[in-house]
């Protein structure tokens, strides 16, 4: 009996996918529930497993666009599983290696035989005066590679361009003294990790908690425009941008305003790991209300992040760098980070945006405020 392999349900608003790669090829024997093909959608990769054990047949070509319920291939259940090869017997080594044959002695040439004189090389033909002696360079086309854009990359390109076309994007900047956050992290990171089952205390959780607090004070930055209405939210679904080999994805911490430091750290670490292996679920990439992107992990000192539409704000973190600053009239060295807030000026006024970023600065520079909700 032959069992068809069909495209599974892909999730909300997704109706098609592209065959990204086959982990098995036609003719291979597959086991029941073994992952055999990977589909790429606009947001996530979807793995499809074998519906039964048997021989894989009629695989749809890589790059083919398929719809939900579409045919991907088939499994022939009547095919027999390949026999497991028996271990080959170990050959015994010979007791004594055979002697190598002796090389024949050279035969001396007779004394009266004179070897022929070598021929004199003929003079090379003179090249015409107009003929170039330098090698011909290859064309630029011969040194180019053309690779089709993945569906994820196409979606990223579409969304970024849509953000520029629809939103009135403006960016404001500030800088944060990370001294107190670094000291607190250094003092408690080992105890924090032991108490919370290996969850590491990083700087992202400080900024996540600071964003949650600041959004309560400035709700327009957590809102979005729908038609001629503004939708305000009393919850925070916080997107954390993650760079992967396939492109940028933004998994969402749903109800981040209800999470502790430890839960934030655990979820952020888990999302980062699964984003890089393609293991995120569609619902984990949906319904974000505000985003954070950290270019500092790649060494970025300053940037102007683009909105993740239809959101109205995104916070850009950057590298921590020791810089001279003035404190109480004295020039001192402090670990400083530039931060950037890009926002939709259609819904967020400049006063709100600047005040929001100042609030982030206050909370991170004095982390006790995060614990006391001040």
Q: Do 331 and 185 belong to one domain? A: yes
Q: Has residue 129 been placed in a domain?
A: no
Q: Let me know whether 61 and 182 are in one domain.
A: no
- 35-49, 80-94, 275-289, 313-327, range with greatest mean pLDDT: 313-327
Q: What is the mean pLDDT of residues 39-44?
A: 77
Residue 55 has pLDDT above 60, yes or no: yes
Q: Is the pLDDT of residue 144 over 60?
A: yes
Would residue 210 count as lying in a domain?
yes
Q: In terms of Cα–Cα distance, which of 297, 293, 290, 302 is closest to 337?
A: 302
Shared domain check, 297 and 172: yes
CA distance 47 to 17: 11
Final residue of a domain: which of 76, 92, 122?
Answer: 76
pLDDT tens figures, 181-191: 999 999 988 89
Query: Looking at the structure, do residues 192 and 338 belong to the same domain, yes or no?
Result: yes
- 202 shares its domain with 330: yes
How many folded domains does the chain comprise?
2
**Averaged confidence pLDDT in the chain:** 83
Q: Is residue 111 a part of any domain in this protein?
A: no
Boundary residue ending a domain (58, 76, 94): 76
pLDDT of residue 137: 54
Checking if the pLDDT of 248 tops 50, the result is yes
Residue 104 lies in a domain: no
Same domain, 185 and 319: yes
pLDDT for the residue numbered 115: 45
Report the pLDDT value the prediction gives residue 80, as an integer from 0 to 100: 82
Alpha-carbon span 284 to 280, nearest angstrom: 7
Percent with pLDDT over 70 in the chain: 84
Q: How many CB atoms lie within 10 A of CB 319?
A: 16
Q: Which domain holds residue 323?
A: 161-372
CA distances from 111 to 105, 118, 244 (A): 18, 19, 78
Mean pLDDT value across residues 40-60 = 84
Helix (H) or strand (E) holding 343: strand 330-344
Of residues 132 and 241, the one with the higher pLDDT is: 241
- Greater confidence, 355 or 115? 355
pLDDT of residue 11: 66
pLDDT per position as a tens digit, 269-306: 898 888 887 778 878 888 899 999 999 888 999 999 99
Specify if 83 maps to a domain.
no
What pLDDT, on the 0 to 100 scale, is given for residue 12?
A: 63
Whether residue 217 is predicted with pLDDT greater than 60 in this model: the reply is: yes
Q: What percent of the chain has pLDDT over 90?
A: 37
Closest CA to 242 of 178, 312, 308, 192: 308
Q: Report d(CA 186, CA 200) in Å as an integer.
A: 11
pLDDT at position 352 over 60: yes
Q: Please indicate, yes or no, if residue 51 is contained in any of the structural domains.
A: yes
**73-118 pLDDT, tens digit each:** 898 888 888 876 555 454 444 444 444 444 444 444 443 734 445 5
* pLDDT at 127 exceeding the cut of 70: no
DSSP secondary structure code for residue 359 in this structure: H
| Spatial distance between the Cα atoms of 259 and 267, rounded to a whole number of angstroms | 10
For 94, 99, 105, 109, 147, the CA distances from 102, given in Å and listed in that order, are 21, 9, 9, 21, 59
Listed residues 76, 99, 133: the one ending a domain = 76
* CATH code for the domain of 33: 2.40.50.100
Contact 210/360 with Cβ under 8 angstroms? yes
- Segment 154-159 mean pLDDT: 80
pLDDT of residue 106: 42
- Is 173 in the same domain as 312? yes
User: Known catalytic residues?
Assistant: 345, 349
Between vectors from CA 310 to CA 215 and to CA 164, what angle results, nearest 5°? Answer: 110
Verify that 38 and 176 share a domain, yes or no: no
Asked if residue 227 is part of any domain, the answer here is yes
Q: Tell me the mean pLDDT in the region 245-258.
A: 88
Residues 212 and 309 in one domain: yes
Asked if residue 90 belongs to a domain, the reply is no
* 210 and 331 both lie in a single domain: yes
- Could you tell me the CATH number of the domain that includes residue 175? 3.30.559.10
């Amino acid at each position: 009996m032959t069992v068809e392999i069909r495209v599974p349900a892909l999730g909300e608003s997704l109706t098609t996918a592209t065959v990204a790669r086959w982990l098995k090829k036609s003719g291979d024997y597959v086991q029941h529930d073994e992952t055999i093909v990977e589909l790429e959608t606009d947001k996530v990769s979807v793995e499809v497993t074998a519906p039964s054990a048997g021989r894989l047949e009629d695989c749809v070509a890589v790059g083919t666009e398929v719809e939900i319920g579409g045919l991907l291939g088939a499994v022939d259940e009547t095919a027999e599983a390949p026999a497991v090869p028996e271990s080959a017997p170990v050959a015994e080594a010979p007791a004594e290696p055979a002697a190598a044959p002796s090389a024949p002695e050279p035969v001396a040439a007779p004394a009266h035989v004179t070897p022929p004189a070598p021929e004199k090389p003929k003079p090379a033909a003179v090249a015409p005066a107009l003929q170039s002696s330098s090698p011909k360079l290859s064309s630029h086309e011969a040194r180019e590679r053309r690779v089709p854009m993945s569906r994820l990359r196409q979606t990223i390109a579409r969304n970024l361009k849509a953000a520029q076309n629809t939103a009135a994007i403006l960016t404001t900047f500030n800088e944060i003294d990370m001294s107190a956050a670094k000291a607190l992290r250094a003092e408690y990171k080992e105890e924090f990790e032991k108490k919370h089952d290996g969850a590491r205390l990083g700087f992202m959780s400080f900024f996540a908690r600071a964003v949650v607090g600041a959004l309560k004070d400035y709700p327009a930055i957590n809102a979005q425009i729908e038609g001629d209405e503004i939708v305000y939210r009393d919850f925070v679904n916080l997107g954390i941008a993650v760079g992967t080999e396939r492109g940028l994805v933004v998994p969402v911490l749903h109800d981040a305003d209800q999470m502790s430091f430890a839960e934030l750290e655990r979820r952020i670490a888990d999302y980062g790991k699964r984003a890089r292996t393609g293991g995120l679920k569609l619902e984990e990439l949906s319904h974000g209300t505000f985003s954070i992107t950290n270019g500092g992990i790649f060494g970025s000192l300053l940037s102007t992040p683009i909105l993740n539409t239809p959101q109205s704000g995104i916070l850009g973190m950057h590298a921590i760098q020791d810089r001279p600053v003035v404190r109480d009239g004295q020039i001192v060295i402090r670990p400083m980070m530039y931060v950037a807030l890009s926002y939709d000026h259609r819904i967020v006024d400049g006063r709100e945006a600047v005040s929001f970023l100042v609030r982030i600065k206050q909370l991170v520079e004095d982390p006790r405020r995060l614990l006391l909700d001040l």
